[in-house]
Amino acid sequence: MMKYIYIDDEDESIAIRDGLNDVKTIHVALEKPKKFEEQSQDLLNKLKAYDGIILDLRLDDHPQSEARYTAPPLAQALRSLAAINQGIGDCPIVLCSTDAKIKKSYIADQSSHDLFDYKFSKDHEPDFPKIVLKLDSLAKGYRELYQLKGDLSSIIRREFQKLDSRIFERLYNPEVNFPSHEYARFLIKELLGQPGPLINEKLLAARLGIDYLASPGWRSLIENFFDDGVYKGVFSDGWRRWWADTVNDKFKSITGKRLSGLKGPERVNVLINVTRIAELTPAKLIPRCVSYNFSTICEFYKQPLDPLEGFRIMTLKEPKPWQEPRYLSIDAAVERKGFTNGLMIHPSESERLERIKTQLKAEGK
């Protein structure tokens, strides 16, 4: 069982610890923060017995606390020590806080974002099983990364030279021995966290034209026919992904047809015919959409979308050339759906959005 040490002095931290421990997959020990110098040294010592660290963002918030610092400088100190010590003591560092505090002091400080492998909110009802799944995978993944010593093909369990060379250009440098957290950061933030070479289940279903939540046959389909494409590298137990290129290839090989040449419902029909899995439901159109050329999803409706009928959204980081942008369907965009939860049209699309609004008005829709 992976063990985490959790530094927090807020009242609600006990409930967070219990919630994490109740899942019974990992063990979390709660400690109050110490003074900065003591704290980093103490953590280094304890890491022999622990596999990861959870930090509250504002360690300086509690009136009785001795600590007068926030999580990022502590995380930075730990990362630097790990780099100096050839990766000893490198482990997942996870950030947890309330939404309000994250909004107030974390989002704006983008330089600190890369310090944390994962973050979760204490607010509302934390999804403990999901959080624990990630924490467990992170801890195990760091161990693997330490052993694999930068062997990229082993890390992703695929010949990395066969992929777009731009993807690994920064990490493929025989001269430098990167610490584990550099690989971890790349995997989590760039490869697993962004659609691109790897896609998640929703996108997979969208590409196949399937409403997977309404399809009892979905599980059987992906396990029996698309299992080859599953990502099996480091962190794959926490992040379920498929290699996008293999999905297209696989579809071609089992149906004999090119995925992109078919409309959503046609893709489902073809699949039903060749796999004999009948319980697959074709995905319906999002309101105001007319195209079935699904290749992405709408971030509000979470349903398949033809990117031509969508608008790129603003993300904290612009996608890299080998990654895919995220989209909002026309309907969500013009009706401002999800805007109050932070979805925002990319500024480069605003002119097009205005044009489409005018057009819709003229058509009386």
Partner 1 sequence: MENLADKIKQLKEQLKLEISKENSNNNLILQLTNEIAKLDENEVRFTVDAGIINRLGKELVGRHETAVSELVKNAYDADSLEVKLIFEHAFQPKGTLYIEDDGVGMTREQLIKGFMRLSSADKIHTPLSPRFKRIRAGRKGIGRFATQRLGEKLTIITQTVDSESAIKVEIDWNKFQSDMDLLTVSNSIQVVPKQKQEGTLLIIKDLREGWTDAMIKRVFRYTSDLLQPFPLSKSRKKEEKKRTDPGFRSTYFRNDDSELKRITDDEDAFFNHALADIEGYVLDDGQACWSLKSNKLNFKEEVFFIGKNREDETSKFEYIKGVHFKAYYFIYLSSLIPNQQLSFIRDVANEKGGIRLYRNGFRVLPYAETGNDWLRLDESSRRRIILAPHSNNNFFGFVEITDKTGVLYEETSSREGLIENTAFNELVDFLNRTLVSAVIKVAELRGTKSTTTQKDWKKEEDPTDVVDSAISELDIIIDEEDQKKTEEGNEQFEDSDTHERKSSQRLKDAVKKIKEGRDKEKEKIKNLLEEKSMLRVLAGLGLVIGEFVHEVKRFLPAFHTDTTYLKEIVKDYPEALTRTERLSNNLKSFTTYTSYFDNTISQNVLRELEVIELRDVVYLFEEVIKTDSIRSYINFLPAKFGDFDLFTTPMHKSEWASILFNLYTNSKKAIRRAEKKPGEIFVRCGRENTSVFMCFSDNGDGIPIENRSRVFDAFFTTTSAASLSSSDTDAMSGTGLGLKIVKDIVESYGGSIVVTEPDQGYSTTVKILIPSKEHTQS
- Angle at the Cα of 105 (from 103 to 110), degrees rounded to 5? 90
Find the binding residues for partner 1 in span 124-143 (CB under 8 A): 124-126, 128
Q: Which stretch binds partner 1 (CB under 8 A): 109-117, 145-153, 154-162, 356-364?
A: 356-364
Site string for partner 1, 79-108 (x = CB under 8 A): -------------------x-x--------
What's the DSSP call for residue 24?
A: S
Beta strands per DSSP E along the chain: 2-7, 26-31, 52-56, 93-97, 118-121, 198-199, 242-243, 296-297, 304-305, 310-312, 327-329
Q: E-strand spans in 38-123? A: 52-56, 93-97, 118-121
Which two tokens mark 110?
A: 């983008």
CB of 136 to partner 1, least distance (A): 18
Q: What angle do CA 282, 228, 262 make, to 5 degrees?
A: 30
The angle, 0 to 180 degrees and rounded to 10, between the axes of the packed helices 244-255 and 201-208 is 30
The answer to whether residue 360 forms part of the interface with partner 1 (CB under 8 A) is yes
Stretch that binds partner 1, among 59-67, 110-118, 203-211, 337-345 (CB under 8 A): 337-345
List the one residue out of 16, 13, 10 whose CA is nearest residue 59: 10
Q: Which of 190, 187, 164 is nearest to 233 (CA)?
A: 187
The one segment of 8-16, 168-176, 200-208, 280-288 that binds partner 1 by CB under 8 A: 8-16
Minimum Å gap between C-beta 52 and partner 1 is 20
Considering the complex, what minimum distance in angstroms separates the CB of residue 99 from partner 1?
9
Do the Cβ atoms of 277 and 255 come closer than 8 Å?
no
> CA-CA distance, 62 to 69, in Å (whole number)?
11
Q: Is 10 in the site for partner 1 (CB under 8 A)?
A: yes
Instruction: Work out whether 11 is an interface residue with partner 1 (CB under 8 A).
Output: yes
Minimum CB distance to partner 1 smaller for 258 or for 336 = 336
182 near partner 1, judged by CB under 8 A? no
Q: Residue 16 Cβ, how far from partner 1 at the closest point, in Å? A: 6
Span interacting with partner 1, options 117-125, 192-200, 209-217, 284-292, rule CB under 8 A: 117-125
**Contacts with partner 1, residue ranges (CB under 8 A):** 10-12, 14-16, 18-19, 22, 98, 100, 122-126, 128, 334-337, 339-340, 357, 360-361
